[in-house]
Amino acid sequence: MSFSVSAVAAPQVLGCEDHSPTTAKWLKLLVLKCKDESGREYNWEYVERVTKYRETDGVAVFARVVAKDQPDRLLVIAQWRAPLDTFVLELPAGIIEKGETIEQVAVRELQEETGYTGVLESVTPEAPNDQGLTNSCLNFGFATVDAAAPENANPQPSPELGETLQVLLLPIKGLAGTLLQLKAQHSWAIDSRLLAFALGLDYAASISSNPASSN
Amino acid sequence: MSFSVSAVAAPQVLGCEDHSPTTAKWLKLLVLKCKDESGREYNWEYVERVTKYRETDGVAVFARVVAKDQPDRLLVIAQWRAPLDTFVLELPAGIIEKGETIEQVAVRELQEETGYTGVLESVTPEAPNDQGLTNSCLNFGFATVDAAAPENANPQPSPELGETLQVLLLPIKGLAGTLLQLKAQHSWAIDSRLLAFALGLDYAASISSNPASSN
């Protein structure tokens, strides 16, 4: 089924100024001058990664671990994140640098951050992370990890400086509940993309268990 | 079922410097000095909203529109976002300011951005939006909108300066496909949280249609 809408007129970007302090190495602070469809002008501050060279910044991977006679599990990392001073339950992910493809980064970051080797099956288009504040975007990859493969016999993450993490294999069934339990138990945070995915799983389960609203 | 893990040692935050340019009105650029568990020191740049006064920044609402004899639909807005210079398919959402509760902002932003009045049913804990780049977090609210209620007979959004948007009611069934179709058709973007939720719905559907992997 095709869903059709009529587009509304977009505002216009009149200019962009760089207000980054000279000390900034990784982030740029930019100010856009905009004019809306009724001619009103306004400024919009936002942040851009200095590594950004294309429409996306990074890739995050939903990696399903398949093992004989075991329920499917999702590879999740609990990574310490300086801006929040806590561990965040999140997807293995990485920044795409010049000369790299999304697919390469997805497989490499999965390997580096979790130690597991996976087969990438699909990649979504880029999606903004926090579009009021930044032009940062990511693509989602979907990968399958064969727990019985020889390369996955003894998975060892190889974190870089600034990466403190541990790897968790969480049952996909009941994922939202498990994430919330871990958060409550350890005072960790849950990445909004991972939480939204888990809420989607739950939502679908609630519909299928209640055929009256199943549409 | 309780899922237990042993926590790893967290790095330490030794200090935080404010590197914001004096022209910045909405965003602060901060630099943290960190020390990891093996004693190695490193810096981490990140951005904070000047409006942030608690653990979360805003709330985004999954609002399900229920109408007799019609499939359930999700309220989605296509909002022009200056940092990306395009419309983004996203959830109605807003920033929480001092003195406001998450619940108040959820109901108010739904009303202001879509024109619809909903009943808020639940709110998740706060979840980071892009934790490498910012401490920005949001809570997800779940609301139900009764399409037959008198207050929803003629919904009129009341956007503020800097908000150019249109309201879409998208069937929840097949949501990911509809979002991707709209993106392809209009060169819009899809918010990563909304896309992740839709991917969760799809993932659950693929499991339930293939009982061999249903676990």
Nearest CA in chain A to B93: A132
Nearest CA in chain B to A127: B192
Percentage above 90 pLDDT, chain B = 86
Do B98 and B159 have their domain in common? yes
Is the pLDDT assigned to residue A60 strictly greater than 50?
yes
The CA-based angle B1-B4-B7, given to 5 degrees, is 160
d(CA B130, CA B137): 8
Do B92 and B178 have their domain in common? yes
Which of A72, A82, A195 lies at the smallest CB-CB distance from B13? A82
Q: Which helix (H) or strand (E) holds B180?
A: helix B175-186
Confidence of residue B99 (pLDDT cuts 50, 70, 90): very high
Q: What is the mean pLDDT of residues B121-142?
A: 98
Nearest to A193 by CA among B130, B73, B26: B130
d(CA A63, CA B195): 17
Q: What is the CATH number of the domain that holds A79?
A: 3.90.79.10
Q: How far is CA A29 from CA A56, A57, A82, B8, B26, in A?
A: 18, 16, 19, 34, 11
A16 assigned to some structural domain: yes
Q: What is the pLDDT of residues A92-143, one digit of tens each?
A: 999 998 999 999 999 999 999 999 999 999 999 999 999 999 999 999 999 9
> A180, exposed or middle or buried, with CB in 10 Å at 0-12, 13-18, 19+?
middle
Do B36 and B103 have their domain in common? no
Please report the pLDDT score of residue A215 as a whole number.
41
Do A130 and A73 have their domain in common? yes
Q: DSSP secondary-structure letter at B157?
A: -
d(CA A29, CA A72): 42
Q: What was the ipTM of the complex prediction?
A: 0.95
Which of A7, A132, A182 lies at the smallest CB-CB distance from B3? A182
Cβ A132 vs Cβ A115: under 8 Å: no
Confidence of residue B214 (pLDDT cuts 50, 70, 90): very low
A111 assigned to some structural domain: yes
A2 assigned to some structural domain: no
Q: Which helix (H) or strand (E) holds B49?
A: strand B41-49
Q: What is the pLDDT of residues A150-163, one digit of tens each?
A: 999 999 999 888 89
Q: What is the mean pLDDT of residues A30-38?
A: 94
Q: Which helix (H) or strand (E) holds B13?
A: strand B12-18
Buried residues in A48-78 as b, exposed as e (16+ CB within 10 A): bbeebeeebbbbbbbbbbeeeeeebbbbbbb
Q: What is the pLDDT of residues B168-181, one digit of tens each?
A: 999 999 999 999 99
Which tokens sit at A138?
């990511």
Buried residues in B79-104 as b, exposed as e (16+ CB within 10 A): bbbbbbebbbbbbbbbbbeeeeebee
Q: Judge: B130–A127 Cβ closer than 8 Å, yes or no.
A: no
Q: Judge: A196–B201 Cβ closer than 8 Å, yes or no.
A: no
A132 assigned to some structural domain: yes
Please report the pLDDT score of residue A214 as a whole number.
41
Confidence of residue A211 (pLDDT cuts 50, 70, 90): low
Best residue in B133, B163, B166 for a mutation probing chain A (most A CBs within 10 Å):
B133
B2 assigned to some structural domain: no
Nearest to B89 by CA among B173, B195, B171: B195
B215 assigned to some structural domain: no
Confidence of residue A207 (pLDDT cuts 50, 70, 90): confident
Task: Decide: helix, strand or coil at residue A147.
Answer: coil
Dihedral (Cα; A153, A154, A158, A163), 10-degree rounding: 100
Please report the pLDDT score of residue B208 as a whole number.
75
- Return the higher-pLDDT residue of A146 and A97: A146
Cβ B44 vs Cβ B133: under 8 Å: no
Q: What is the pLDDT of residues B41-89, one digit of tens each?
A: 999 999 999 999 999 999 999 999 999 999 999 999 999 999 999 999 9
Nearest CA in chain B to A26: B45
Q: Judge: B208–A213 Cβ closer than 8 Å, yes or no.
A: no
B136 assigned to some structural domain: yes
d(CA A113, CA A11): 41
Q: Judge: B29–A21 Cβ closer than 8 Å, yes or no.
A: yes
At a CB cut-off of 8 Å and minimum separation 6, what does A21 contact? A29, B19, B20, B21, B29
Please report the pLDDT score of residue B1 as a whole number.
56
Do B67 and B105 have their domain in common? yes
Do A39 and A62 have their domain in common? no
**If you search the block for the tokens 């559907």, which residue do you land on?**
B205
Nearest to B146 by CA among B43, B41, B66, B45: B66
A6 assigned to some structural domain: no
At a CB cut-off of 8 Å and minimum separation 6, what does B99 contact? none
Q: Which helix (H) or strand (E) holds A204?
A: helix A192-208
Nearest to A195 by CA among B123, B75, B160, B172: B123
The range of the structural domain enclosing residue A137 comes to 58-173
Sign of CA dihedral B32, A59, B201, A169: negative
Q: What is the mean pLDDT of residues B30-37?
A: 94
Please report the pLDDT score of residue B150 as a whole number.
97
Q: What is the mean pLDDT of chain A?
A: 93
Do A109 and A87 have their domain in common? yes
Do A91 and A115 have their domain in common? yes
Question: Cα A102 to the chain's mean position, in Å?
Answer: 13
Q: What is the mean pLDDT of chain B?
A: 93
At a CB cut-off of 8 Å and minimum separation 6, what does B198 contact? A200, B175, B176, B179
Question: Cα A82 to the chain's mean position, in Å?
Answer: 17
Q: DSSP secondary-structure letter at B160?
A: P
Q: What is the mean pLDDT of residues A192-208?
A: 94
Do A45 and A62 have their domain in common? no
Best residue in A27, A33, A66, A69 for a mutation probing chain B (most B CBs within 10 Å):
A27
Q: Judge: A170–B3 Cβ closer than 8 Å, yes or no.
A: yes
Do A82 and A124 have their domain in common? yes
Q: What is the DSSP string of A91-144?
A: --EEEPPTT--HHHHHHHHHHHHHS---EEEEEPPPEESSTTTB--EEEEEEEE
Q: Judge: B189–A11 Cβ closer than 8 Å, yes or no.
A: no
Do B127 and B146 have their domain in common? yes
d(CA B47, CA A130): 12
Do A73 and A96 have their domain in common? yes
Nearest CA in chain B to A128: B191
Q: Judge: B46–A82 Cβ closer than 8 Å, yes or no.
A: yes
**Domains in chain B: how many in total?**
2
Please report the pLDDT score of residue B4 as a whole number.
76
> What distance in Å separates residue B190's CA from the closest CA in chain A?
5
Q: Judge: B124–A44 Cβ closer than 8 Å, yes or no.
A: no
